[in-house]
A and B are shown apart, each in its own frame.
Chain A
Amino acid sequence: MKKFLACALAFTAILFSTNFYSVNKDANANIDNKESDSCEFIDTSKLEELSNKYQANTEIEEDDTVPCAQAGSLEYTNFTDKEYYATTTFNRINYFENLSQYSAYNSVDSCGFVALIQALSFYDTFYNRYTIPYTYNRKNELATTENEAKAESPGVLRQVYDSTKYTSYYEYCNATQATDFQSYLTVLYNNKRGTNNDGQHKDDDGKYVDNFEKSIGTQNYQTVLNELYEDDYTVKVNDYNKLSQKQYLDLIKETISSGNPIVVQIVKYDSAGNASRHAVVAYDYDASNIYANFGWGRGYNRSPLLGGSAGYTEIYRAATLDFSKSGHWHSDNYVINSKSYCGCNISDKINFVVPEKWTNIPPTFYWMKDLKDPDETFSIEFLSFTFGDIYCSFTTDKNQMTLSANDWRNVLKSCSKDKGCLIKLQRISSKIDYIYSVYEIKRPSSAMEHITISPAEYGFYEGYNETEISSNIVQGKYTINTKRLRCGYIENECINLSARKEKAGTAYLDYSLDNYVYRIDVDLFLWSENEYLSSNDSTAYIQYKDSFGNWVTVLDLLNDIELSTDRLFPETYTVVFPEKTKEFRIYCSTWKIGDRNKGRLCIGDMSIYLEGK
């Protein structure tokens, strides 16, 4: 299984260039409603509960391993929310309603296998991309809209057994098992039973029948799936029999309500009392009926389980597939305009607001939040390519972060010069756990340009202006326009803001440029110990103007840090903006009180990192 996962990771890295995904462990999605318009949730934990309710069950080991974030540096690392929601509406119902072209074909009364493969295809599309080995996946790769993608649900090769080309179904399955998933499973199953041969035996009526078994009952699903996964823990088959009809119906509805499909074996009798049996996948219900895909083609994709044109009258067996041990691993089965989507409608792709291409500008990146899970939290790690060394790690309930300059520096210092390193994102949630999605960072080789302004270069007079003043600072090829209030160059030392005075209450220094700014390093301190700027009654921020024109705080000078009161030893603060901006400010507000200039916030040297002209 480890070898399989390693190969799968490598393959996905190629497929998605810099994004690839990994397996989670303990999925516990909770479904309030039967279907969702936005995010498709599958409560695999519900299957165990149902198993306990309707039949005895063995214990399933619970994996409660949650990677712990190391005590990384949190210095000025910003976490914010970003609007990034599900954009597709794939769900279980439209999946089975449209599962025809990529459903296994029932050529020889092999409905037991067809139903099993349909259920596996569902989990492969909505839950874990490795449910079906990749070589057997088939899907519509030409869709340009979501509706086109939904019109043919992804699954496996649909191939009819041609008895003119092969002498027997045994020969056909063995010849086509490399490409036909039904053939592959059938051979695996017969190998296990010692019946993978071309021989025949007499049945109890004395008739000769092929040794090679063409169909399978749910009681043997565990056997064949253990063979498929080469272990006995990837999937747990809950096989139900000897229930009453009412119990079967309740079980089916509860399973469907949890977001899971269920394989149901049904029977009807002819006038002579001869039984005819079939296996289907039930996936929806309403007040009148339970609906199933009968595996007979599009006209029977949404047929009443009992009654209806097919005329089955009784349920005699049912089974669910519990993949909660293998966990959620995003699928790529739905394709729209050559871009892949998971049926769960949640993307774990890491997107960049500030790219990771400068040594001195930390990246800002974000990921999709699961709107139905308000308790969702995330773990982010920067680590080596071999997943060995963790350079730094964080935990947040936001879906966007900007690394601090120090942490970015540490990451770059640690990571490989040739290969770079990885960002690993993990969802830690009460509903769905993911182990991680990973983004590959190539080690940048260039730094962003910066200019440095000393207080004397502002050109401000010594005093606190009572009305706003606008002026320009020219530094080389760059011009910075400033707007200031209650701000001046004081005692040839520093630029001061003084908000605390009668008729004042506000002080600011606003910087705007034609170029985008990503970061500033600024010396900040208080003029003395008695400036009366308290977080209880005052505010002091470094803010930037976002793409919507709103002022956004990146550093709260009274709560995030403790400003020095020793003018001889100012602190340098590195502020990284979560997105590029052309305008930022230092802003202060407090009581309009006193006859002296107090609340003096001091600005020393400032380096501004900006995209060059």
Chain B
Amino acid sequence: MKRIISVILTVVSVLCAVFAFSGCGQKFNNKLPHKVALVRIDYGDSVNKKAQLSIANETEKFNFSGVDFFNKSNSKKVKKLVGGDRLEIYYTDENYENVDHILVQKAKVLTLEVEVGEVPGDPPNARDVYSTSPNISINHTKYEVNWVIDKSGNLIALSEFRDSDKLYGTFIEEEVEEVGRVKVKLHYIHALYTYNPR
């Protein structure tokens, strides 16, 4: 009997170690010095028309390769960053030289619809995007989102889309404002995708 219990306990310990290693229940020391940065889409590659991620805050840009990102809410590994994700970069020391871990506050996703607005007086080929939900207003110009990212990471001009095409926009919950005399929730879009990136 004692032998059986001992085996069970060993198996459980091993399993816990495995899960801990993989992120389930993984604990991070969030009292370490840290910086905050935002994930943006760099639309600069007009030759290849590929979306590049840019991680930066007001004072510096970051370049992470071979680094894992973990979801701030459940410590699970985040496989993919999208525009609007907010990173908390924790360092081992006050010199901010070595990264201990990076937590991601994930941007949320809104389902949108393209409307060929063609506002009289505006330049031609103007497109606008609207939320499919009522009482939600969209602003995609604040972060200059004029391109849409497909699954291969290619950039497609918003003007290429047709009326009623479905898109997905990422936004940061904390940026949502209630605007207007008839109140609506204004969402600032950080990136547009042809698919739900989450």
Do A and B pair up? The answer is: yes
What residues of chain A have their CB less than 8 Å away from a CB belonging to chain B? Answer: 108-112, 115, 188, 191-195, 201-204, 211, 213-217, 219-220, 223, 226-227, 230-232, 241-242, 265, 267, 274-275, 277-279, 316-317
When distances are taken between beta carbons in the complex, the residues of chain B under 8 Å from A213 are 119
- Docked CA distance A202–B180 (Å): 25
- Residue among B137, B141, B157, B159 with most chain A CB within 10 A: B141
- Category for how many chain B residues contact A: 20 to 34
Among residues of B, the one whose C-beta sits closest to the C-beta of A266 is: B120
Q: Main secondary structure on chain A at its contact with chain B? A: mixed
B120 CB contact (under 8 Å) in A188, A204, A227, A265: A265
Q: Assess whether B118 is in contact with A109, with CB atoms less than 8 Å apart.
A: no
- Can you sample 18 A-B contacts with CB below 8 Å? A111-B120, A112-B121, A191-B180, A202-B144, A203-B146, A204-B157, A215-B120, A216-B119, A217-B118, A217-B119, A217-B120, A231-B182, A232-B182, A241-B163, A242-B163, A265-B118, A265-B120, A274-B124
A275 CB contact (under 8 Å) in B124, B137, B181: B124
- Docked CA distance A219–B158 (Å): 18
When distances are taken between beta carbons in the complex, the residues of chain A under 8 Å from B180 are 188, 191-192, 227
Determine how close the nearest CB of chain B comes to the CB of A512; give it in whole angstroms: 67
* 6 additional A-B residue pairs with CB within 8 Å, beyond A111-B121, A115-B120, A274-B124: A111-B120, A192-B184, A194-B142, A202-B144, A204-B146, A230-B182
Determine how close the nearest CB of chain B comes to the CB of A319; give it in whole angstroms: 12
Q: Which of B133-189 contact A (CB under 8 A)?
A: 137, 139, 141-142, 144, 146-147, 157-159, 163, 177, 179-182, 184, 186, 188
Q: Assess whether A277 is in contact with B120, with CB atoms less than 8 Å apart.
A: yes
- Docked CA distance A227–B182 (Å): 6
Q: Assess whether B179 is in contact with A192, with CB atoms less than 8 Å apart.
A: yes
When distances are taken between beta carbons in the complex, the residues of chain B under 8 Å from A279 are 120-121
Q: Is B117 engaged at the interface, CB distance under 8 Å to the other chain?
A: yes
When distances are taken between beta carbons in the complex, the residues of chain B under 8 Å from A193 are 137, 139, 186
Q: Assess whether A195 is in contact with B141, with CB atoms less than 8 Å apart.
A: yes
Among residues of A, the one whose C-beta sits closest to the C-beta of B159 is: A204
When distances are taken between beta carbons in the complex, the residues of chain A under 8 Å from B184 are 192
- Docked CA distance A279–B120 (Å): 6
Q: Assess whether A226 is in contact with B120, with CB atoms less than 8 Å apart.
A: no
When distances are taken between beta carbons in the complex, the residues of chain A under 8 Å from B157 are 204
Q: Closest 9 interchain pairs by CB?
A: A109-B121, A215-B121, A204-B146, A194-B139, A217-B119, A279-B120, A277-B120, A201-B141, A275-B124
Q: Assess whether B188 is in contact with A214, with CB atoms less than 8 Å apart.
A: no
Determine how close the nearest CB of chain A comes to the CB of B59; give it in whole angstroms: 21
When distances are taken between beta carbons in the complex, the residues of chain B under 8 Å from A201 are 141-142, 144
Among residues of A, the one whose C-beta sits closest to the C-beta of B127 is: A204
Q: Assess whether A215 is in contact with B188, with CB atoms less than 8 Å apart.
A: no
A194 CB contact (under 8 Å) in B125, B137, B163: B137
Q: Assess whether A195 is in contact with B139, with CB atoms less than 8 Å apart.
A: yes
Determine how close the nearest CB of chain B comes to the CB of A191; give it in whole angstroms: 6
Q: Is B66 engaged at the interface, CB distance under 8 Å to the other chain?
A: no
- Docked CA distance A111–B118 (Å): 12
Determine how close the nearest CB of chain B comes to the CB of A27; give it in whole angstroms: 24
Q: Assess whether B120 is in contact with A219, with CB atoms less than 8 Å apart.
A: no
When distances are taken between beta carbons in the complex, the residues of chain A under 8 Å from B158 are 204
Among residues of A, the one whose C-beta sits closest to the C-beta of B182 is: A226
Q: Assess whether B141 is in contact with A277, with CB atoms less than 8 Å apart.
A: no
When distances are taken between beta carbons in the complex, the residues of chain B under 8 Å from A216 are 119
When distances are taken between beta carbons in the complex, the residues of chain B under 8 Å from A274 are 124
- Docked CA distance A267–B125 (Å): 12
When distances are taken between beta carbons in the complex, the residues of chain A under 8 Å from B60 are none
- Docked CA distance A122–B117 (Å): 25
When distances are taken between beta carbons in the complex, the residues of chain A under 8 Å from B118 are 217, 265, 267, 275, 277, 316-317
When distances are taken between beta carbons in the complex, the residues of chain A under 8 Å from B144 are 201-202
Q: Assess whether A277 is in contact with B122, with CB atoms less than 8 Å apart.
A: yes
Among residues of B, the one whose C-beta sits closest to the C-beta of A208 is: B144
Among residues of B, the one whose C-beta sits closest to the C-beta of A217 is: B119
- Docked CA distance A191–B177 (Å): 11
Q: Assess whether A112 is in contact with B120, with CB atoms less than 8 Å apart.
A: yes
Determine how close the nearest CB of chain A comes to the CB of B58; give it in whole angstroms: 16
Among residues of B, the one whose C-beta sits closest to the C-beta of A202 is: B144
Q: Assess whether A217 is in contact with B124, with CB atoms less than 8 Å apart.
A: no
Q: Assess whether A194 is in contact with B188, with CB atoms less than 8 Å apart.
A: yes
Q: Is B115 engaged at the interface, CB distance under 8 Å to the other chain?
A: yes
When distances are taken between beta carbons in the complex, the residues of chain A under 8 Å from B117 are 217, 219-220
Q: Assess whether A194 is in contact with B119, with CB atoms less than 8 Å apart.
A: no
- Docked CA distance A483–B93 (Å): 123
Among residues of A, the one whose C-beta sits closest to the C-beta of B141 is: A201
Q: Assess whether A230 is in contact with B181, with CB atoms less than 8 Å apart.
A: yes
- Docked CA distance A316–B139 (Å): 25
When distances are taken between beta carbons in the complex, the residues of chain A under 8 Å from B141 are 195, 201, 211
Determine how close the nearest CB of chain A comes to the CB of B169; give it in whole angstroms: 14
Determine how close the nearest CB of chain B comes to the CB of A116; give it in whole angstroms: 11
A277 CB contact (under 8 Å) in B119, B159, B179: B119
Q: Assess whether B137 is in contact with A192, with CB atoms less than 8 Å apart.
A: yes
